[in-house]
Each structure stands twice: as C-alpha cells, then as structure tokens.
Chains A and B, each alone.
Chain A
Amino acid sequence: MAADPGESYPALTPDCPQAAGFEREIAEQWGVKPLGHPWLRPLRFHRSYRPGRDAWGRTGEDALLPSAMDFFRVEGEGLHEVAVGPVHAGIIEPGHFRFQCHGEQVLHLEISLGYQHRGVERALAGGPHPRTIHHMETLAGDTTIGHALAYAQAVEALAGCRVPARAQALRAVALELERLANHTGDLGALAGDVGFLPTASFCGRLRGDFLNMTALLCGSRFGRGFVRPGGVAFDVDAALLAELRGRLDATFRDVGGAAHLLWETASVMARFENTGTISPAIAVELGLVGPAARASGRELDVRRDFPSGIYRFAQLPLSAVDSGDVFARAYVRWMEIQRSVEFIRGQIASLPGGAVRAPCGPLAADATVVSLQEGWRGEIAHVAETDGAGRFVRYKVVDPSFHNWLGLALALRNQEISDFPLCNKSFNLSYCGHDL
C-alpha cells in the first residue's frame, strides 16, 4: 500500500476530527502537509523521516526543542496561562500541559508531548530484529503484555503460525492480569487525588499483588519475557494454577472492599460525579477507545468486536456506562475488574492441554497485516508491512493513548484547574505509548 500525495493534500480533520493526530503524525514523519488542518503542530518533535522535507520548514541545523511552538491562546481581561511540565511533581512520565484560565476555570488545555520519543518505529523497520520484542515490551511499560501480544499476533499471521490453545489461554490470563493491576492502581490513584486515603492505600498494595501474579507466571511483574511469537515462553503446572487461583480470590475480595468504599463515600462521589464530562457525541468525534470511550456510552471492545486467540471462544460482557464523567471512568474500571477476575477463573479451571509454543518461521513477503488487541487502556493497533524478503518495510504502532489524549484536553474545558489531576488520572494515558 503506497500513495504519493506530493507535498500536500486537503486535510481530512475538518470533516473527521478523529484524524487530527494522525494527520499531524504524517506531517511530522514525512513532511506532507494536510492543507486546512485546524491545528497543525508537531506531535513528537523529531526530524522528518525524509531529510529536507519538513512540514514546518525547519532547517537541519536548528535544534528541535520539544514544545517549541505556538500554543493556542485565549486573550482578554483576567485571563492567564498556566504551564506545567515536562517534569511533574510525582513519579510519572514527562509531558507539557498549557492551560488557558479565567480565575480557577480552565477555558482550554493544550497538551504538548514528544519528550519520551525514543525512535521506536524507525528502529522497527528492517526487522524483526532480536531487539524487536523488547521494543514491543517497552512501548508502554504498563502494557507489556498488550503490545507484545499485538506484535506476536502480527508476526504469527505473517508466518502462518498456529498458536497452541494452551498458549492462547495463558496469554489471555496475562492480558487480564495486566488489566486488573492497572485498573486497581487507577482506582487507588483516583482515591488519592480526592484525598481519600483508605482506598488509595489498599489499592497501592493490591495493584502490586496482581503484578506479583504476573511474576508468578514469568518472573517479571510486568510480564517481560512471557509472550513470544508462537506462544508463551513459560508453562504452568497444577500447583502454580492453584496458587494463582488462591491469590486471585484473596486479592479480588480486598479490591471489592476498597472499591465499595469509594461508591459509599459521599465526599468521594461529590468529586467524581459531573467532573470532566465527555459526552457520547464528543467521544465519537474524537474516536476515543477503551474504558474512556465505554464510560461515555460507546460500546467498543476489541475482545468482543474483533476477537482473536481464546477470546473467540470465551467472551467477556462489555462494560459501559454513559455519564462520561470521572465517576463513569472509575466505575467502568470496577466493572471490568469483576469481569476479568471471572474470566481468569474460567480459563484456569479449564486450561487446554498441550504445548505452549509452536515454531514461528519466516514472514510472508510483500504482505500487510493489521493486529488488534484490547489492552487495559483500549484498542492497541499494530500494522506491519513486509518487503520481498519478508522484513518489515514499515511497522506502525497505535497505542490507545494516541486517540485519548485529546479526550483529556476536552474533559478539562470549563473545569476547575484543581480538578486536573483527578481528570488526568481518570484517563491515565501513556506518554511513551504516544511518543514511541
């Protein structure tokens, strides 16, 4: 698949806002301008992949400083600007947030990223290399299983490899454990952001308990080394499954106790409800994915809509609510926690026998594959295109955060600036997944 658009083409974004980020990306990577794009700014602040073709006319000698661009400004009496980042107050990834405020009220938030850009996609070309799986596992560290799985599935499709049923089930167990750890951590962090310490403290521990279940499978709390093309690198025995089941039940009981404290506490609900609301219409316009979309009533879930692996046979009910606020994004997580636990119980009770890995041979030449997974943040999309020798000509990664960052910006409109941490955590997006 290739098209030569020349230097420019009419932008799609005015008619289809979902394309906004993609058109900025195309402009930055290839120096092709989408004419009429309403806000054409660099996304990641790196040099064009085609030397001499820069959409902003920047010459080779200038240092490319991140966020060196014009921000959208609101002007008038009593208006002021607040700049935050790239280094933030907590232990989190870097990014720059520019708020246009009237008093405490946020009129507009612009998010400028790219600080985490490590040149992943450029390095993937020509692969698979021995390092490729490690790039996948560190695209977004909290989504190690999700991205490794999307990659493995792409490679297996290109190689015509049939993954054993036991491996498919174990992969899904690991993917749901990843979801459990992150959703539980988010409930705790949301509690922390409204100063409700019981749930914050409980969930801080419980998130780690889920990570330790992943470590039970493969030795790494983040699932490093577990998913490999052809299957998984570690098998399980009855004793390990019994241990996993016991820990899962005990941890789930405690997560339930911690979560219910949130819904039963009026001071928490007063902060969660009607804060950072994204209407269903906006969710569609922006193309939000994952729990953030399902919290605005969008019925989207790759596990249901494009099932692969064991999800073709074992389905999870879709969790959606429609109020679109911080509460909705928190409650969708709690619904998904319950369903993921039920799913894992089912899988380990009826784990298929047989091998956990099949040989995965050379990749098909001149082929294109699209691979989707429902990571804990939402849809993970990988697209691989091979050349005549079966090497990657181009490998494109779309982390769910790529779709959702604009959702956070719009959720802040007309909110108090002091609600930013709460709104931010309710999306909990990946900087490195976006910056690649």
Chain B
Amino acid sequence: MKTEIVRNGEQLIAKFAGRLDTPAAVQTAEDVKPLLEAEKKELILDCTDLEYISSSGLRIFLSVRKEASAHGSKVVVKNINDDIRQVFMMTGFISLFEIQ
C-alpha cells in the first residue's frame, strides 16, 4: 500500500495505491497527516489505484473528513472502483462524502 501526497494550488491530493487493509492502515494514517492539518483546502482522496478498503481504511477517510470540516476544507473522493463503492454504500457512508 502506497500513499503519495501531491500539492496542486489550493488542492491537496492523496493518491492511494494498493489495498488499504488493517495492517496498511497504521502507515496510511501517518501518511495522510498533512491533510488533517490543511486549512481551507480542497482535499482530494484519489482512489484510482486503490483496490480495496477495510473498516480501518474507512476510519482514516472519516478522520480526514472530520478534520477537514473543522479546518474549513472540503473532501472529494475520486475514482473509486465498484468494490469500494459498495463498501461506502452498504455502510451508509456514501451520502457523507462527495464522490466523483
């Protein structure tokens, strides 16, 4: 599992690649810290190369959203595959995120 943080003007993009499962979540939580501290930015969670997300991964997405809301930032989840879309839907979190 790899997480790359890219700055693009007012956007902060986290590019996830691989399987965001429980073992990978500890490092990923560390990797997304710049997003948690960002003030008034558009935070993109780019899931183009994300194959799988577990509950631990969902918790990371939720913490990004919570902090973004506290810091006046906005979160957009991009390019999720069918499996991840299903995870968001069946846990009821699909309406919580802007998914593009």
Please say whether chains A and B are actual partners in one complex: no
A positions within 8 Å CB-CB of B: none
